[in-house]
């Protein structure tokens, strides 16, 4: 077996066992706050040198790689799909944190699992008609996508656009269907936008209070100048694209983001 095939086979199995460990033998979410994870968005990398860029940023301290997938329909931009993820997997053992900004997430689950994705984050607003979502109960279409992602061996992320109320994701978290909630602090579609603080990033706080062991990711306009607000809100998974890939010393930016989040967690007593 070639080394590239071994790498590709290892990724989904590792994700599945990690997901199980994370939820615990009972299937319940753990109570302890999860570790700080820095997940640079490769949207801001040089796409002509993607494998080298991924390797470089992991060596500089990134925990995960955030891979933005856009279909030109759910958002007004196109990026890459499962074939590119499969190619990257031949060159990288990194945890692939895939953010699907697509209209029909269910359609892509098998392709991304086969490509070696670890986290499959889909939009709540894409999995069901937003008008049919409720804070009181899970929408069957959303729950079905979450179950299919886990059945395919990936961890489950649900993303919320800035205007989507955080209460609407609670039924899926409470049902144990979700490993991570992604709070977007820009309108999805492009890197390099202005960070939305205040009530938008503030959606992390009730999630962290209710679910101390949940991965809470913040994505959009995160940089050393905005990280303290993100950290204080309770996020533990930090996505930053332009701030990391555009920096002269990306390793220092990664370290600064981590220090802020670790400091806020220590100050909060966890």
| Active site positions, annotated | 68, 219
Residue of closest CB approach to ligand 5RP: 241
- Does 242 contact ligand 5RP by CB under 6 A? yes
Residue closer to ligand 5RP, measured from CB, 147 or 194: 194
When binding is defined by CB under 6 A, the residue of 36, 44, 121, 260 that contacts ligand 5RP is 44
When binding is defined by CB under 6 A, the residue of 222, 233, 253, 254 that contacts ligand 5RP is 222
When binding is defined by CB under 6 A, the residue of 221, 226, 234, 253 that contacts ligand 5RP is 221
When binding is defined by CB under 6 A, the residue of 47, 192, 225, 268 that contacts ligand 5RP is 192
DSSP characters over the chain: --HHHHHHHHHHHHHHHHHHHHH-TTSPPPSSPPPPEEEEBGGGS-GGGHHHHHHHHHHTT-SEEEEEEEBSSSSS-B---HHHHHHHHTT--SEEEEEEE-S-GGGGHHHHHHHT-SEEEEEHHHHS-GGG--SSS--HHHHHHHHHHHHTT-EEEEEE-TTS-GGGGHHHHHTT--SEEEEESS-TT-SSPPP--HHHHTTHHHHHHH-TTSEEEEESS-STTTHHHHHHHT--EEEESHHHHTSSSHHHHHHHHHHHHHHHHHHTT-
Per the annotation, binding residues for substrate are: 41, 99, 189-192, 221, 241-242
Residue closer to ligand 5RP, measured from CB, 10 or 47: 47
Residue closer to ligand 5RP, measured from CB, 232 or 238: 238
- Does 243 contact ligand 5RP by CB under 6 A? yes
- Does 43 contact ligand 5RP by CB under 6 A? yes
Under the rule (CB under 6 A), what is the footprint of ligand 5RP? 41, 43-44, 66, 68, 99, 186, 188-193, 219-222, 239-243
């Amino acid at each position: 077996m070639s080394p590239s095939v071994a790498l590709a086979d290892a990724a989904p199995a590792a994700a599945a066992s990690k997901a199980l460990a994370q939820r615990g033998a009972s299937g319940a979410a753990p109570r302890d706050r999860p570790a700080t994870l820095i997940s640079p968005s490769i949207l801001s990398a040089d796409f002509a040198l993607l494998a080298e860029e991924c390797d470089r940023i992991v060596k500089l301290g990134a925990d995960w790689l955030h891979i933005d997938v856009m279909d030109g329909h759910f958002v007004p931009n196109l990026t890459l799909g499962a074939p590119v993820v499969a190619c990257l997997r031949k060159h990288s053992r990194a945890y692939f944190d895939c953010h699907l900004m697509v209209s029909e997430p269910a359609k892509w689950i098998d392709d991304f699992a086969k490509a070696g994705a670890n986290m499959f984050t889909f939009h709540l607003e894409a999995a069901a008609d937003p008008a049919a979502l409720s804070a009181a109960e899970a929408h069957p279409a959303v729950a079905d996508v979450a179950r299919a992602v886990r059945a395919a061996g990936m961890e489950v992320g649900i993303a919320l656009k800035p205007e989507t109320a955080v209460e609407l994701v609670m039924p899926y978290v409470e049902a144990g269907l979700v490993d991570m909630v992604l709070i977007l602090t820009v309108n999805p579609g492009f890197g390099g936008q202005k960070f939305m603080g205040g009530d938008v990033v503030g959606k992390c706080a009730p999630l962290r209070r209710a679910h101390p062991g949940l991965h809470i990711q913040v994505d959009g306009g995160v940089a050393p100048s905005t990280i303290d607000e993100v950290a204080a809100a309770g996020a533990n998974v930090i996505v930053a694209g332009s701030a990391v890939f555009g920096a002269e010393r990306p390793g220092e930016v990664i370290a600064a983001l981590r220090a802020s989040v670790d400091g806020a967690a220590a100050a909060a007593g966890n």
